[in-house]
Amino acid sequence: MPRNYKKRIGSRNYKNYSAETLRQCLASIENKEITQRKASEKYGIPRRTIINQLRLLRSKMPSRPPGAQATFSSEEEALFVDCILRLSEYGFPLTIFDLRIVIRTYLEKIGRRITKFKNNCPGTEWVSSFLKRHSCLSQRFATNIKRNRAAIDKETITAYIENLQEVVRDIPPENLWNFDETNLSDDPGQKKVIAKRGAKYPELISNTSKSSTSIMFCGSAKGELLPPYIVYNSKQLWNTWTEQGPKDARFNNSPSGWFDMNIFNDWFFTQILPILKKQEGPKVIIGDNLSSHISVDVLNACDKNNIRFVCLPPNSTHLTQPLDVAFFHPMKVAWRKILTEWKASVQGRREQVLQKSSFPVLLNRLIDILEPTREVNLVSGFRKCGIYPVDANPLLERLPTTVDKTALQDSFLQSLEAKRLEWTTNRTTRGRRRKLHITPGKSVTEELSTLLDDKENEELAQPSTSKIPCRRRASCESSYAESNDMSVHDSSDLGSLGDLENLEANTDTAAETYNENCNFKPIVKAVGQYVVFTYEEEIFPGKITKITKEGPYISSMKRSLKSWTWPKPVDEIQYNWQDILGCIEVPKKISTRREIYSVPELDQTWGF
């Protein structure tokens, strides 16, 4: 069944008139102003069509579109639509293939066979027609969310809004602030191009990498936006990395490229606190509950300046964070466009990666593009997140609604609810932590101050100036990902009150874990050495191609079933020396026809 019918050469004309012309023709005949034959000549409508339309008009029977009889009744298709919508609300939307399989299962269950369906399974053309008949359905790209994010329910949102209402009562919108960190990557993403029909892998030559730069944004419910705070992934900060950037923007650096407690303190005292001191009355700062965003100095400053620090519910920023909901998406769309244009320029084609000296200029251009819609987006974000005005309905409307049990079978409901429960239930527990009970929506200053007072009264073995070394490996999750709860070290790990300044959890590094099981050679800092390095908590082999002051450039290999291969184009980016676990032997080529290699040092790690 072709999707778009094409008229054969020499075939008869078909409906060379509009519906309005047909209506006028029938009206003139019904009013006995003209005969059928003369009406056919005047309006250019075949007489047989006029006869059929008059018969249908006089019989008062409902008309149906031309074509073959529908495969399923309207009641059956309505049930299909309802099931699709309910599955989508529950977080399990169907693909075209899924819908075809579901309908085939339905036909087999009722013992019905459709001859025009191959193997009793509808084709893609039937699905296309089905979507056209039901305008409430459309194909969209789905956003993946984690299981713990999907577990947010009505009770959590309602309790959060009730607590928030007490905190933000009688506070003007210009005193309500939301902060969040995000990152801008060096990859503009994929885009559609025109290529030869049948080409499997059309490629666009563009230098990209996996690097990104972290940025802290902060906006108010009135639509004001503070200058950005940029953190580079480097050990040094050079003056060329700060030139020609946004007005009043601040720049910093860290070995991981993310915000830690010291950098967050610097942002708080240099960016937002001077603004809040100029405002009258109580102020509210709303942010996620990352442990790196809480420190003694920040809480003391909030107490002195009548600032209330409010934490969002865990794993809910996709619903409750105004910057996430309404600001970051248009920002990253504009950033991908700017980055694509820059990489097509002479300088962009010459550079392998986005240089830090070019980043401030592009960021300044991004801020200028966002300026016309900045106020509208921020105000909309606070309203959609139910913060200003305080309202739980915008949040509850985006949660899965109650399924109408009269429309679906009880067995289907039970399996659907069991499937969602299986995905949203957290089976793992973390040890060596003591949860800091902070009620979402409430100010955390008073509760943490009480905790600090209790800590001061405890008798500690170590002096108050002692520090416990805490080695932490940088996780490769996005800079705006949030922890499940705000945590501090267990009392057995804390030496004094001063240790509360280091609220980061003690975690073992990936290098220590792998070195216990793998015997890698010592690291040799030389070009041409084959090494093993970590990326996103996994290990890969590669070859050092260049060494700079900031670290080595490594050409990485990729997995190919139970072997390794060199990707095309070459996957070469800069890493830190801390990412390298050790040196290995030259990978062994295991095929005479294909470029595939074996790395014996990693066979046990990857389960080969």
Structure confidence by residue, pLDDT tens digits, 361-388: 999 999 999 999 999 999 999 999 999 9
User: Among the listed ranges 34-48, 189-203, 253-267, which one has the minimum average pLDDT value?
Assistant: 189-203
Residue 179's contacts (CB-CB under 8 Å, 6 or more residues apart) are 216, 217, 218, 272, 285, 286, 287, 323
Over range 281-296, report the average pLDDT: 82
Of 236 and 463, which is predicted with more confidence? 236
**Burial (0-12, 13-18, 19+ Cβ within 10 Å), 293:** buried
Over range 515-522, report the average pLDDT: 66
Residues 505, 575: contact at Cβ < 8 Å? no
- H-type alpha helices, 115-268: 124-133, 147-150, 154-167, 261-267
The predicted-structure confidence for 214-273, as pLDDT tens digits, reads as follows 999 999 999 999 999 999 999 999 999 999 999 999 999 999 888 888 999 999 999 999
Tell me the pTM: 0.51
Is the confidence at residue 396, as pLDDT, over 80? yes
- What tokens were used for 514? 């792998």
Every domain of the chain with CATH number 3.30.420.10 lies at 159-190+206-396
Is the confidence at residue 41, as pLDDT, over 80? yes
Over range 293-317, report the average pLDDT: 86
Going from the C-alpha of 474 to that of each of 37, 480, 488, 525, 600, the distances in angstroms are: 84, 14, 18, 22, 27
Return the CATH architecture of domain 19-59. Orthogonal Bundle (1.10)
Amino acid 76: pLDDT: 87
Amino acid 87: pLDDT: 73
The predicted-structure confidence for 523-533, as pLDDT tens digits, reads as follows 888 999 999 98
Is the confidence at residue 312, as pLDDT, over 70? yes
The predicted-structure confidence for 271-280, as pLDDT tens digits, reads as follows 999 999 999 9
Cα–Cα distance measured from residue 541 to residue 599, given in angstroms and rounded to the nearest whole number: 8
Is the confidence at residue 304, as pLDDT, over 70? yes
The predicted-structure confidence for 405-414, as pLDDT tens digits, reads as follows 444 444 455 5
Amino acid 348: pLDDT: 84
Amino acid 142: pLDDT: 57
For residue 110, how many C-alpha atoms fall within 13 Å in the half-sphere facing its CB? Answer: 11
Q: Which of 183, 184, 143 is nearest to 335 (CA)?
A: 184
Amino acid 425: pLDDT: 59
Amino acid 209: pLDDT: 79
Amino acid 333: pLDDT: 93
The predicted-structure confidence for 96-141, as pLDDT tens digits, reads as follows 888 888 888 888 888 889 999 999 999 988 998 898 888 888 776 5
Cα–Cα distance measured from residue 161 to residue 167, given in angstroms and rounded to the nearest whole number: 10
Every domain of the chain with CATH number 1.10.10 lies at 19-59
CATH of 159-190+206-396, one of 3.20.20.120, 3.60.15.10, 3.30.420.10, 1.10.10.10: 3.30.420.10
Cα–Cα distance measured from residue 247 to residue 367, given in angstroms and rounded to the nearest whole number: 10
Cα–Cα distance measured from residue 71 to residue 166, given in angstroms and rounded to the nearest whole number: 57
Over range 199-224, report the average pLDDT: 84
Q: Which fold has domain 510-606?
A: SH3 type barrels. (2.30.30)
